[in-house]
């Protein structure tokens, strides 16, 4: 039976460390704000944005909320980002995704100054991560590395299979696991015989985006399973990409949904903000 990797507890530990660090920086006169921009009122985005603002308050960082109407033009949004790029006290800029159809996400991401890119999505941040140069790391993959390390999971030399190749999770996850000396395989929707491949994983990271898709037949006895998915099932309860009850019989450690990867994303966003205040 698997050990449950408690993302809520580990994220709280990280936030408490950051709270102390932010207070020490403040004592040295180093402060700064995170600007959080939301366009439209997607219900999931509203929850995420609220959680981000609450986390800032907890750590002791100022947050500036920009809640813009759905019909905001790309030009207006670019103007706001340019203004925030130029403001000294703003140390982080976060534009909540997804954006409405009429706004080009890539253009917006590229408009954010890399030294305020606390999401780690700017091509310069991605390039720096790829070669191991300093820069902001994307929050979800960085949070997963922290979950593994703080749960005592050894990464070096292990075979890590990642299901999913998105720019936000799969691709950066592969690079960060490589940096930790794992042997990495990236699987995706065109991968043949996915279950057989996954059964070779010592660490299985699932970001497939399909509710409760991964069952026991994908999991090697004793593997560590990280579930990045978050969905609502037919009873309106939160669930992940993994069939948790089944998977925990085979795994040696597993993250639950909710309370696994989710809270870590926000903790790492706060970590990037504190890093930006420290460097700025």
Site string for ligand GUN, 95-134 (x = CB under 6 A): xxx---------------------x---------------
The residue among 119 and 227 lying less far from ligand GUN, judged by its C-beta, is 119
Reduced to 3 states (helix: H, G, I; strand: E, B; else coil), residue 15 is helix
Reduced to 3 states (helix: H, G, I; strand: E, B; else coil), residue 275 is helix
Distance CA 280, CA 271 (A): 14
What residues contact residue 119 under an 8 Å CB cut-off, 6+ apart?
94, 95, 109, 112, 136, 138, 139, 269, 272
The residue among 45 and 185 lying less far from ligand GUN, judged by its C-beta, is 45
What residues contact residue 29 under an 8 Å CB cut-off, 6+ apart?
none
Site string for ligand GUN, 247-276 (x = CB under 6 A): ------------------x-----------
Which residue has the closest beta carbon to ligand GUN? Answer: 97
Active site residues: 52, 96, 119
The residue among 97 and 186 lying less far from ligand GUN, judged by its C-beta, is 97
139 binds ligand GUN (CB under 6 A): yes
Q: Pick from 81, 94, 203, 219 the residue near ligand GUN by CB under 6 A.
A: 94
What is the token pair recorded at 239?
Answer: 């669930």
The residue among 25 and 112 lying less far from ligand GUN, judged by its C-beta, is 112
What residues contact residue 164 under an 8 Å CB cut-off, 6+ apart?
170, 173, 186, 187, 188, 205, 206, 207, 208, 209, 228
Closest approach of Cβ 10 to ligand GUN, in Å?
18
Maximum Cα–Cα distance for the chain, whole Å? 56
Distance CA 44, CA 231 (A): 11
Closest approach of Cβ 217 to ligand GUN, in Å?
29
| Residues from 149 through 208 that contact ligand GUN (CB under 6 A) | none
Chain contacts with ligand GUN (rule: CB under 6 A): 94-97, 119, 139, 265
């Amino acid at each position: 039976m698997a050990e449950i990797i408690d993302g809520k507890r580990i994220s709280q530990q990280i936030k408490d460390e950051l709270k102390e660090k932010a207070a020490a920086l403040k004592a040295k006169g180093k402060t700064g704000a995170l600007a959080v921009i939301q366009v439209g009122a997607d219900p999931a985005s509203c929850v995420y944005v609220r959680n981000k603002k609450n986390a800032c308050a907890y750590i002791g960082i100022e947050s500036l909320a920009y809640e813009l109407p759905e019909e905001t033009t790309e030009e207006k949004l670019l103007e706001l980002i340019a203004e925030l790029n130029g403001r000294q006290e703003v140390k982080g800029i976060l534009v909540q995704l997804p954006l409405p159809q009429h706004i080009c996400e890539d253009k917006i991401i590229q408009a954010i100054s890399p030294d305020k890119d606390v999401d780690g999505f700017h091509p310069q941040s991605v390039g720096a991560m790829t070669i191991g140069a300093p820069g902001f790391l994307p929050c979800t993959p960085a949070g997963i590395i922290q979950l593994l390390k703080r749960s005592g999971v050894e990464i070096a030399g292990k075979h890590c299979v990642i299901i999913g190749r998105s720019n936000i999770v799969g691709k950066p996850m592969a690079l960060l696991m490589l940096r930790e000396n794992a042997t990495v395989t990236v699987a995706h929707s065109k991968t043949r015989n996915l279950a057989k491949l996954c059964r070779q994983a010592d660490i299985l990271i699932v970001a497939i985006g399909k509710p409760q898709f991964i069952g026991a037949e994908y999991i090697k006895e004793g593997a560590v399973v990280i579930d990045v998915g978050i969905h609502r099932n037919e009873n309106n309860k939160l669930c992940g990409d993994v069939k948790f009850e089944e998977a925990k019989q085979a795994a040696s450690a597993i993250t639950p949904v909710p309370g696994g990867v989710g809270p870590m994303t926000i903790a790492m966003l706060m970590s990037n903000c504190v890093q930006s205040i420290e460097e700025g």
